[in-house]
Amino acid sequence: MLHLRKSLYRILETSAGKRRGISLAFNLVLITIITLNAIAIVLHTVPEYNQRFARLFTDFELFSVGFFTIEYILRVWVSVENEKYHHWLWGRLRYIFSTSALIDILAIFPFYFSLFATDLAIVRILRLFRIFRLFRISRYSHAFRLIQNVVKEKKEELILSTMLVVFMLIIVSSVMYYVEHPAQPDNFSSIPATMWWGVTAMTTVGYGDIHPITPLGKLLGGVTAIVGIGLFALPTGILVSGFNEHIREHKTPRRKVCPHCGKEI
């Protein structure tokens, strides 16, 4: 029993040492199931496919939840093999409240909850939660850890520039509301409504559903777009330089050797 637990731990968590082949195969199967889940959730909303493959969608959902549930139980069982979660009870409880285990439970919980839910609105929201199964893939993704690190490192600058964007958005939308409201009382009906214009103008999306029509409003709209580009460039530039730094640091710093004397330089 203990031997089985050790083997299972190696397969599920370490991907190293003995059982490395099986571990790799298992992880590939898991990633495939997660990806298929994402595709199923997306295609399931297309009425045409939903009717035609109704049975297939239900079966696959049952299979996925079953697979994820067994996997989750096994992970909790073997978690004590990890030194961090050594104690048979407290260790397991601490594992259950670790980020990756919480994501795992979030991926299956909506299904079980929806069995008891009778309210359609809640079932709808629970269905939406299934999309977060996709986050299970973050366990494997190098990219998520990179993003996490960059955001953590540049936290201060990002908060600062986000504050500036929000501040600017409030000021600009307030002024625009007073300028355009008399001319377009329906579109610019209140400052919160004007903020929707503010966001589409500052991000240069410009859907065209709401835009100034008075000369003063157009002038203000033009200045907003120009300043918005500059303002949004800040978090962007900060993120890009953060990534570049990270990537440079983590790339193997090529050891160079002088071809004449053989010493490292």
Shortest reach from residue 69's CB to a second copy, in Å = 22
Residues 25 to 44 in contact with a second copy, rule: CB under 8 A: 38, 41-44
Q: Does 143 bind a second copy (CB under 8 A)?
A: yes
Phi, psi of 264 (to 5 degrees): -75, 145
Q: Applying CB under 8 A, which of residues 12, 33, 180, 235 lies at the interface with a second copy? A: 235
Residues 162 to 201 in contact with a second copy, rule: CB under 8 A: 163-165, 167, 170-171, 173-175, 177-178, 181, 189-193, 195-196, 199-201
Shortest reach from residue 1's CB to a second copy, in Å = 39
Residues 42 to 101 in contact with a second copy, rule: CB under 8 A: 42-47
Q: Applying CB under 8 A, which of residues 25, 29, 155, 222 lies at the interface with a second copy? A: 222
Q: Does 211 bind a second copy (CB under 8 A)?
A: yes
Shortest reach from residue 153's CB to a second copy, in Å = 11
Nearer to a second copy, 22 or 168 (CB): 168
DSSP string, the chain: -HHHHHHHHIIIII--STTHHHHHHHHHHHHHHHHHHHHHHHHTTSHHHHHHTHHHHHHHHHHHHHHHHHHHHHHHHHGGGSGGG-STTHHHHHHHTSHHHHHHHHHHHHHHHHHH---HHHHHHHHHHGGGGGGGGGGT-HHHHHHHHHHHHTHHHHHHHHHHHHHHHHHHHHHHHHHHTTT-TTTT-SHHHHHHHHHHHHTT---SSS---SHHHHHHHHHHHHHHHHHHHHHHHHHHHHHHHHHHHHS-----B-TTT--B-
Q: Applying CB under 8 A, which of residues 160, 184, 187, 216 lies at the interface with a second copy? A: 160
Nearer to a second copy, 96 or 227 (CB): 227
Per CB under 8 A, the segment of 55-63, 81-89, 95-103, 230-238 that binds a second copy is: 230-238
Q: Applying CB under 8 A, which of residues 89, 116, 207, 254 lies at the interface with a second copy? A: 207
Shortest reach from residue 222's CB to a second copy, in Å = 4
Amino acid occupying residue 70: I
